[in-house]
A and B are shown apart, each in its own frame.
Chain A
Amino acid sequence: MSSAGKLLPGDPASAKPETLNKRARQSAFRVYAGALWHDKVTLAACVFLFLLALAAIFAPLVAPFDPEEQSLMLRNQPPMTEGGSEAVIPHVLGTDQLGRDLVSRLIHGARISLAVGFAGAIFSGIFGVLVGLIAGYYRGIVDDIIMRAVDTLMGFPSLLTALLVLYALGPGVWKIILVLSVTRWMVFARVTRSLVLSHREEVFVDAARTIGCSDRRILVRHILPNLLSPIIVLVTLEVATMMLTEASLSFLGLGIRPPQSSWGLMLAQGRAYVTTAWWLVTFPGLAILFTALSLNLVATWARAVTDPVTRWRYLSAGTSKSGDE
């Protein structure tokens, strides 16, 4: 009823589209949430990522032990070892070579692993999208130069370039994020450019130009919103890639260094004990695997749901069995 009231003459003209917009957004949210509810695997991945993010943010509150607390008596103890005299809970996943609790170290390590993944993906995303927008929108010589550079950089062995730069700069979280962003932004530039090329000839861009919008306004307000969903999917995939690259770099001794810790560094430190303490190398690797897998599952799902060609299958999956065949 209230929406009908807004349509009465005399109301501010702007109220109507806003209400409609809001309702459309709400129902879109409901449709996606419904589709997610019916895809249990993706739902599980979302829940896992959500809990992991919470655990990483509130690490000091969630971790059962101090991740730095050493104990000579409890070196390399297997999972479920009783934790000292005053501890209520056992060391569920065992302890490491210095007697530190593995669960607590995993939770604290998640902070750096996730931070590097997300920051790297977002920085390279922002830069790459910007470059891609410019190349795709202005075409011509700017486009030629940018895309030549992108093609050349894509041919570089990215892990080796990262190794070399970290060797010259020395270790550090921000340096890793910087190096990962510099070696991976080209993916975003390429995808954004091809998307802009397909949108820039459309009627709404012509219309915007006709009413006198500036190039910047057309790019930011009219073209960019249309690119958001594929770019968000790509960011999600890149978080996983960056996290895996950080793990490799830390494993090789050029990424995160103690006293900071990440899952990759935990693997590097546990490697020496692979024959005597299997839990030290098993659980950090599983943490990386589950996180990257969840990110990949969510990205695959999001791509299918936001793509009009494949969307109907997912959206109809809940209402009729025939959609599943």
Chain B
Amino acid sequence: MVVMVKGRSVIARYLIRRLGHSIVILLGLIIVVFFVTHMLGDPASLMLRPEATDEQVQALRESLNLDDPLRVQFTRYMGDILRGDFGESLWQRVPALPIVIDRIPATLYLAGVTLLIAVPLAVILGIVSAVKPRSITDRIVTVVSLTGVSVADFWLGLMLILLFAVQLGWLPTSGFGGPRYVILPALALAVRPIGRLSQVVRSAMLDEMSKAYVTTARAKGLKQRVVIFSHTLKNAAIPVLTLAGDEASVMLNGAVVIETLFGWPGVGVLLIEAIEKRDLPVIEASVMAIAVMIVTMNLLIDLTYSLIDPRVRYT
């Protein structure tokens, strides 16, 4: 019992440290966003069309208090964002944050379906190629997974539209609705994670299968299936999870492009629309929303990690 309690407090401390790290990332991003919008660019000119007159620029500068010293602007900016106030959308004339929050479920839905496709497929491919290293199957899987990481996901989306929506007419070209709408965007988004994760699964499985406990299990006469599924797979999951955080980040970045292509009403498409309309408050709120999603996913992965790997609990 004592060990359990101690173990739990160690997990708690580990998670608090990770949470602190996430907060640092988000604060860092806020600073970068301020730097980019207020120092590299000028918010007034970023919000107005290039043909705006000098009077319009000056009026906007005054209404945004852009003539204050940078230090004052920064303090005000930090305070506003920490209170969740990104300003009013210039285009819809309502606060930016609720507009963005409305779009989050759609993005999470797409990401969830993508993971449901990608993770099982990557695990199967990785196991198949690790069972017989350097066989023909292994080489084919390697080339397939390298193709997965080499393909431009939005181009794959275009090809899927061309084949399944235009030529065959099985699935809708774009939009949001029933389950039929999510298949193509999720497939396009899944290819990269499948490629990367299957390689990681392969090398993790190869590592595990060369260890002594596998020899012992084989010596006891256990079947290959048992050795793989009840012995090595769980241990191989540890290095795979370590990289899953990077994958989550890459996937949500890719979602911006895929959402735009498929007209999927998520945060990504909102961000691109806002960039086209030069709607700075919505742009900032969207970037922060996607960053918060990435950071939260990483935290969840860390949590799973500490549950699977007993070594994390005692370090």
Contact = CB atoms under 8 A, between A and B. Distances in A.
A244 to B, nearest CB: 6
A160 B292 CA distance: 13
A274 B166 contact: yes
Interface string B274-315: 011000000100010011001100100000000000000000
Contacts of A264: 152
Contacts of B256: 159-160, 163, 252
Contacts of A300: 142, 146
Given A152-B24, A252-B272, A292-B150, A160 B143 contact: no
A275 interface: yes
A294 B56 CA distance: 52
A275 B173 CA distance: 10
B154 A251 contact: yes
Interface in B136-157: 139, 142-143, 146-147, 149-152, 154-156
A248 B152 contact: yes
Contacts of A160: 253, 256, 271, 287, 290-291
Interface in B243-266: 249, 252-254, 256-257, 260-261
A296 B46 contact: no
A271 interface: yes
The B interface, classified by DSSP as helix, strand, loop or mixed, is helix
Nearest to A281: B158
Nearest to A164: B36
A121 B29 CA distance: 23
Given A167-B275, A251-B154, A289-B151, A151 B21 contact: yes
B125 interface: no
Nearest to A153: B28
Interface string A12-43: 00000000000000000000000000000100
A285 B152 contact: yes
Interface in B6-55: 21-22, 24-25, 28-29, 32-33, 36-37, 40-41, 46
B21 to A, nearest CB: 7
A169 interface: yes
| Residue of B147, B261, B276 with highest tally of chain A CB at under 10 A | B147
Contacts of B150: 240, 244, 288-289, 292-293, 295-296
B293 to A, nearest CB: 9
B152 A156 contact: no
Contacts of B37: 164, 168
Contact of A289 (B40, B143, B147, B154): B147
Given A155-B294, A159-B253, A285 B155 contact: yes
Interface in A239-262: 240, 244, 247-248, 251-254
A275 B166 contact: yes
Interface in B149-173: 149-152, 154-156, 158-159, 161-162, 166
B149 A296 contact: yes
Contacts, number: 141
A163 B275 contact: yes
Contacts of B41: 167-169
Contacts of B46: 167-168
A165 B37 CA distance: 8
B119 to A, nearest CB: 21
A274 B36 contact: no
A157 B287 contact: yes
Contacts of B21: 151-152, 155
Given A152-B25, A160-B290, A167-B46, A274 B158 contact: yes
A86 interface: no
B218 interface: no
Contacts of A282: 159, 162
Contacts of B291: 156-157, 160
B253 A157 contact: yes
Interface in A163-207: 163-165, 167-169
B134 interface: yes
A306 interface: no
Interface string A121-136: 0000000000000000
A297 B142 CA distance: 9
| Residue of B46, B143, B154 with highest tally of chain A CB at under 10 A | B154
Interface of B: 21-22, 24-25, 28-29, 32-33, 36-37, 40-41, 46, 134, 139, 142-143, 146-147, 149-152, 154-156, 158-159, 161-162, 166, 249, 252-254, 256-257, 260-261, 271-272, 275-276, 283, 287, 290-291, 294-295, 298
Interface of A: 41, 148, 151-153, 155-161, 163-165, 167-169, 240, 244, 247-248, 251-254, 264, 267, 271, 274-275, 278, 281-282, 284-285, 288-289, 292-293, 295-297, 300, 313, 324-325
Q: What 9 A-B pairs are tightest by C-beta distance, nearest first?
A: A168-B41, A285-B155, A292-B150, A155-B25, A159-B253, A293-B150, A168-B40, A296-B146, A152-B28
